Structures are given as structure tokens and as C-alpha cells.
Structure 1
Amino acid sequence: MSSSKFRDLSAGSKSLIIIEQFLFSGSLLLAVHLNGLYQIVDFKAEPNSYFIIYAVIFALLNQLSALALGLYNSKLRESFRGIFRRMLMCVSVGFFAITIINPLFGQGFLPVELLAMASLLSVLLVTSFRYFTFKVNFFGFGKRNVLVLGAGQRAAIIENRMRRDVDRQDFTVHGFVVMPGDLPDGIKREPRINLNESLTDYALTHEIDEIVVANDERRNALPVDELFACKIRGIEITDILDFIERETGQIAVNLIYPSWIIFSNGFTSNNYLRNTLDWIFNAAMALFLLMLTWPIMLLTALFMKMTEGWSAPVFYKQIRVGLDGEPFKIIKFRSMRLDAEKDGAQMASENDNRITKIGHYLRKYRIDELPQIWNVLHGDMGFVGPRPERPEFVTQLIENLPYYNERHNVKPGLTGWAQLKYPYGATENDSLEKLKFDLYYIKHRSFLLDLLILIRTVEIVLFGKGR
């Protein structure tokens, strides 16, 4: 994520990260202090400045673990019990990581018992803090007060697609201003505002932080002078496409107009070093993953042979559409019956009865995707990118979905932004929803976004949230 994205975070989101940095660091310093009082572990004490540096490293490792487990996902839909379980795993992974690098500190390393005490204190302090923020909306002070200019169909996307509190954690909608030319089947449940005064005066009186332009008819209907006056008075003016993109991590395909794509940032890569080293990076990652997962793949093949017969094929090859629309053969562990497509090509659906007994587990934990390491090494795929589709479906989707062919401007990937945000796709409507996320990825593609997707994929694998 870029620095501008960090600046877009609410004050509450930034505070959560910073406060927990102090809590994790404080846990280790508190463990050292308690050990000095009660002599729980005998070791040679170092200067205080040394412990502060160690505490910061301890905190960073735990927060990286928390990121991988989704604990900094602003739309994490978990009960407090679920958050507590994730926090236990987070601190366990952090403890494992700090014990690995502990010997690198030479004579200044800390005893494992002391690190265990610090990890236990981390669980108590951070979980207590999370419980407080879970019960009390303490971080709501950073919400932006948003006024939507328009009450028709375009504005209704906010009402229909961003109606839950979890979707509006960073903003509140003051209301929807009725504009000339708005289609009648628009806003139905939320406040409709008929302005009888200047838009500027109304926005200043009600302390509006941001105006989202979402009226259906813009020709000779947009109050340009009023918006200009609001802008110079510090009120942010945002097009609804940019607003939805920022708040949901997707691009509203049905609202796109060509000039928006032409004048918006993104949809291209200026990182020539990354482009040049793309295959080297993906190949190195593939070899590393192969070293970690070859025992799992071997056991998978053995289980498949034992359950389906020694003559049953383990792998499944299929033609998919890749970069620039070029076809290639993808290789996966077979998770469906041999006669799965006796009636022709069809998309997999949830609870598909064609999936084998072991196939359910392969899909749930993404094990069926592991043989695609070969596709990465061969250069057909990368680790991150839109998932490749079959030519039979691509032809139809290009005809029915606007901008669908744009997803072939980057290499397909083992995992992607759409897989994190919308993990299932069995119909054309599902393909449209995933396209919105794929276009967002293509627009914002960067090394840091790829890294974020890879880290979040760890959460999906660990908690079995695959298809």
C-alpha cells in the first residue's frame, strides 16, 4: 500500500496500530522489569537502551503475525472469541519467530523463559485492549462526515452495497441531496435532502468533511461553482467511482466511463525494475514454496491413490487464458470426479456434488493449487494476479461484461485481490463482482500490494477459508 493510502486511514485506524506497538513493546519491557524484581530467570542484564531495541523488534514480529492473521483487517467479521483465538495464534507465531532470531543477538540474547513471559503478557494486555475497543466504539472519532450529492441510482450503490456498520467504519453518511435528473428508483431508506440554501452554506453549517458526487445527470446539473467554493474551504470533493474504490477495494464496473480511466492514476506499471525482475521474483518464491510444501504434495498424491485407486490420475490439466489472452495449460491436483464434465464445461459451484471427498479438503486449504508452482516456474503465471479462466467462459464474459478483457493485461496468479475479497464465483454475476476487484488490483498493482495479498492468503490457508 502506498503512503497516500496510509494517509487515507482514519485517525482511529492509525491509533490502533500505534497503541498496539506500545503494548507489545511494553510487554517485553514489563517482563524484564518483573524478572529484575523477583529473579525468575538468572541472566546478565543489559543497558536499558538495548532492551528498548529488543522490545521494538519483538513488537514488529508480533504485529506482522497479527497482519497475516487478519487482525488489522478493518472489516474483520469475527466475534470477540474469534479475535481472541487469532490473538493466541498471533502471539504464538511471534514467539516462534523471536526465538529463531534470538541467538543472533549474541551474548545479549534473552532467555526463552523471559520471552515466553513477555508473550503471555502480550496476550493479556493486547486482548484486554481489543476487548475494550470491541465493546466501546472508541476509535469512531476519526469518521468522516460524508454528504452525497445525488439520490438516484448511482447514489443508491452506497445505500445498497455499503449499508452495514462494518462497511462504514471510516465514515458516516449525513444524507443524500436530491438533484435534478436523478432517476426515481434511487435512495429509499436513508435521509433525502431537498436543499433550499447554498450547498456551501449547508456543508459548512453541518460540518461536512467530504462531498461525494453521485448524481445521475451531470450535464448542466452539476453545481460547479458551489463545489469549487466547498473545495477551497477544505471540504474534500470525490467522485463516486473513487469513493467506492477507496472504501470497498473494488471498481464499480457498471459506473465506469472512458474518461475516468483515461485521467485516473493507475492501470499501468512504472516500476521497470519490478517488471524486469518479475520472473526472477516469482521463480524464487516458487522454489521456496516448493521446498516447504513438497511433503504435503507427496502425502496428497498418496491419499488420492489410496482413496480413489492406484490407476486414478492425481493431476488435472486444463486450458486457461493468460497474459494478453494467450492460452496455457494449468496443472492442479484433481479435486473432481473423472466424469465431472461429461455434460460439457461448467463453472464449479458451492457444495458441488462433482467434488470428491478428499477434494473438499484440497479446495478448503488451497492444496489443489500447489502444482501450479510449475506454471509459475514456466512463466505462465505469477504468484499474485487475477485467477485465469477457461476460454469457453472468457469468450462469453468478454461479450457480456464491460472491461472484462482488461484483466488479461497482467499475468494470472495463484492468488489475487478478488480471491481475498470475493472468494467464490459460480455465475456471471459472481464474475462481475470479481472483475471489480481484479480491476482494482490492476490499477493499484505494486510490490507492496502483492505482499499484502500474499500475507492475507496465509490467513485463508491457516483458517481453511478456501473454496
Structure 2
Amino acid sequence: MNTFAQSLTQKDIFNFLFFVPIFWCILHTFSGAYFNPYRKSRIIEVYRTLIISILGTILFYFFIFIDDDHNDIHYYYKSFFIYFILQFGATSFGRFLVLNHIKNQINNGKFGYNTLIIGGNTQAVQLYKEIVLNRVKLGYIFKGFVYAYDSGNNGLNEFLPKLGSVDELEKIIDDHHIEEIIIAIDTSEHDKLQSILAQLSHRKVIIKITPDLYDIISGSVKTSNVFGTVLIEIYPELMPDWQRVLKRTIDIVVSVLVMIIFSPLYIFAAIKVKLSSPGTIFYKQERIGIYGKPFWIYKFRSMKQNAEDKGPALSSESDPRITKWGKVMRKWRIDEIPQFFNILKGEMSLVGPRPERKYYIDIISETYPHYKYLHKVKPGLSSWGMVKYGYAENVNQMIERMKYDLLYIKNCSLVLDFKIMIYTIIVILQGRGK
């Protein structure tokens, strides 16, 4: 009887050398193995590797190993077991070594996270002492603190510098490159906590709060046992790693296909824009994207040149600034298709809240600070608000549409994305654009 090694053909060897590394890299990428290595737990990563190794070996086994040349079931059992042990053993051992090296860097103070404490009582001081005096270093590099209110004295100024007021949080985050924020305030200060969370909702920072505040916050949370100091982590990511990777993959594939397949439409629309009125073919405008970062959005120009010389102004269905061809493009949303370039660049996604200008964001945020929650995800070519409500002609309508987009944020998933894409296609085919 042939042994496992003797049964390997040249084709098997080629598959091992070429396809196997690609296969496992893709699988581990979707599992989130390559994201944020400095924040990973060694035990959890070994468990994650075990699950992925079992799943990957089963998939790989049925696609590669099983053929009609072997009728001995013991051969398949043996080959499966050998391959699983080799793959899991090598991957978990290598990953454990890397993560152990990272942990040593953190313990030796060579790496850490710039951290800010927000507190207004002795709880903040106790929390700080407990973390700093702990034998095991947790990676916090405390840059300073701010009081939860404009005035106060909780004793933290004996250990850390006061960096400003709570109203200056965004500036403090930028100036000191803050990565983590620990909120330690009384349970009676519910309104203040909600205000702080709303202020930080669009920033890419990890927020940790004390357990007694858990029942008054919402979102994606994870309990973190900090060697005696139990905190609850509020993660800025709304989707699991594998969904985020798959969502980005779909964005890239669809964008490339659309720009290739619909290239004749791009050319036709560009010619019509040029012939319809004097001016440029494309129109670009600064919009606010994920985590409040500005970017340039691209459209086919549907209005007369310099339509906003007098300042920002939302369009309406009977807007005289819209050209004749512009009305046709808007009805079928042809003017939006240059945004597939924004999607390819990673500034936008196929599905997500529509990006707005800072001018209107500032107006809405004064009354509805929760509007900034929309910046927790990439803006999209289409959104739940666009499907259910449509284009907004004034600020009040923008606020109404925001309610649908906030529902999307709270229920963000690939399943909902696919549902929105299907509804968007129906809207386009029915010519229900504005």
C-alpha cells in the first residue's frame, strides 16, 4: 500500500506550493487574524487558529485530496489528520511566538496606547492607581486627563496633566494622538456619559467605561478583565472582521466590473454633459467620510457651472440650476456612477449613509449630536435612508432621512447591505431618482 508521502503527485506538490499559501492567507484574513496584532490575546488567537484550521482543512481536503485514485478510507483519515496537525501546529506555534514577542514589548514599555482618562471623582484616581501599580503592564500610556465637567478636583492632577475641558475632546485626541479613552464617572451622571459618547461617536478610538455604566450605553461592547479592573470596551467597528473584509472585497469587485461593463455609458454621459451646457464634465465636492475625514466626491455635472457661487444650497426637483440632461441623469441616478471610483479608492462603500458637506453636518449636529454616529461607517453610494426616504431638499428632510440611516448603523450587517442593494436596483429601474 502506498504511503501518504508516496501518493503525492507533481500536481499535488504544485498545489501545495502555490495554492495552499494563498488559500490559507485568504481564510485567515477573513477571520481577522491579521488585524490589530498588538491588541490580540494569545489564548484567543490559538483558539481562533484551531477553528480556522479545522474549517480550512475540511474545505481544502474535499477540494484537493479526495479523488478516485484511492478507495482505502484509512488513507483519507490519515491524510486529513496529518495535514491538520501540520497546519495547525505550524500556524499556532508561529502566531504564538509573534504575539508573545508583542506582549514582551508591551510589558517592557516599548509599545503602548496613548490613553486619556475622563473622570470627575475619586473613582478615576482609584482606577488609575490600580492600572499603573499592576505588576503586569497593560499597554496604557497615560497622556493626561480631563474633568467630566468644567470644574472639579478628583486628585488626578497629582499624577497626570490636565489636557483641557471635555468640550475640547476632539482637539485633545488629535493633538495627543489618543487611541483609548477611559471614562470613570458616577452612575448618576448618565446625561454626561451620553453626551461624551455622542461627541466621540465618529472618532476611531476605543472607549472603556466602568461596569456600573453598562446599562446606559448601547452598541458593540466587550467585557475586559484588566487584572482586577473590569472595564467594558466599546469598539468602533460595527461589523465582525470577516464581514468587513468581505464587504470591502465586494466593493472592489463590483466597482471594477461596473467601470468596465458600463464604460460605454460613462463615455455617453460625459459627451452629453459636455454638450448640454458649458463647463466641466465632472463635478467634485468635499464631503465628510468615515471618522470625520474629508474626501472629494465625484459626480457627472448635472447643474449649470458654478451653481453654488452664492453658498451651499440643496437642490429640489424644480431647481432651475439643473440642466435638461441633468434631470435625466438624476432620474436614473447616472450622475452618481463616477462614485465607483470613490468606492475603489476606499473612501466610500456600495452601502452606507450618504456623505454630506461639513456645512450641513454642523447645522444638524447642533440640534441632533447623534448625527455624527453616521460617521462610524464609510459613506455609501446608496443607503437605507435613500431607499426609504430619497433625496433631501432641506435640512428638515435630511434629519428625517438620518433616522433611517441610524437604524442602519444599529443593525449593520452584510445581509442588510444586500437587501439595500436589491431595493436600490429596483428604485433605479423604476426611475424613481430625483
Query: TM-score when scaled to structure 1?
Result: 0.42
Q: Comparing both structures, which one devotes a greater share of its residues to strand? A: 2
